[in-house]
Homo-oligomer: A and B are copies of this chain.
Amino acid sequence: MSLKLTILGCDSAIPTINKHQTAQLLNINERFFLIDCGENTQVQLRKYELSFQRIHHVFISHLHGDHYFGLIGLITSMHLLGRKKELHIYAHSKLKEIINIQLSASNTDLNYPLFFHVLPEDSEVVLYKDDSVEISNILLNHTINCSGFIFKELKYKRKIIKEKIEEFNIPYDKIIDLKNGLDFINENGNIISNDLITSHSSPPKSYAYCSDTSFFSEIISKIRGVDLLYHEATFCHDLKERALETGHSTTKDAATIAKEANVKRLMLGHYSKRYSNLNELLLESRDVFPNTFLSKSGDTIDFNEI
């Protein structure tokens, strides 16, 4: 199993030459999930040589522009580049209208299917599930409806020992059964125990994305023990009041959530533009939760190294 997260942007509100609004690309076994999509995300994807035609699912946390203004451009570029494969968008209901009115204004009939999945505003549900991952929303506490997302790899499957395929002459269509733990019955009717053919895979990983939100203890039970928590930390703790007014968190809010939820690592982001040196944010968070690091555009986090 492989799970990698690339940061495309981690700044809040106003983009500049070196500050990019929120967007992350999660690669789960070569399936690509885009989380939020600030203005110019398509160019950030190009910059880091990530093909946006491989993205099939986009999760938009909420409808503040720094989390979605890049989406219409991405959708349009996918179209202009000849995309045929479907794209699924998970967002609050108004986004469908926003996208459709813009496609209609330009008389664009997309040459690929675009599916909208409306995020529930008062419940938490499984939004997506396949054979390797399950994705759910988490209700957050912001100034407008806002969802976090939790990505859970499903119970790991067993890993085929490559040499055994030849040794036991295993046909390709039996591989899935073997990964699921079944024994192999060869053409002579002999049973080869699964243990002889497969080994343990690495344990399933999990990722929780929580932005934007003020301190919200309700999320703790939902993200307990995740391998990585991304939690916004727009402000240092001296601006706690400003954080509350604007529906955001401070470093200590994020770190307290991480500590209480006993996550493995905490990644901060959504930095206010007032901080030219982000170390201040990092150190404050580490006071409460030592295993904190800063998200940075262009960085890729490999969950096997957490």
Contact = CB atoms under 8 A, between A and B. Distances in A.
A306 B15 CA distance: 35
A75 to B, nearest CB: 9
Interface in A90-104: 92, 94-95, 97-98, 101-102, 104
A13 B73 contact: no
A65 B73 contact: yes
Nearest to A95: B105
A260 B95 CA distance: 47
A77 interface: yes
Interface residues of A, number: 35
A15 B107 CA distance: 20
Contacts of A107: 143-144
Interface in A7-58: 13-17, 39-40, 42-43, 46-47
Contacts of A17: 43, 46-47
A133 interface: no
A274 to B, nearest CB: 13
A156 interface: no
A76 interface: yes
Contacts of A144: 105-107
B101 A39 contact: no
B102 A98 contact: yes
A42 B107 CA distance: 26
B13 A80 contact: yes
A65 B106 contact: yes
A86 B247 CA distance: 28
Given A65-B76, A65-B106, A98-B102, 8 more contacts: A13-B77, A17-B46, A40-B40, A69-B72, A92-B105, A94-B105, A97-B101, A107-B143
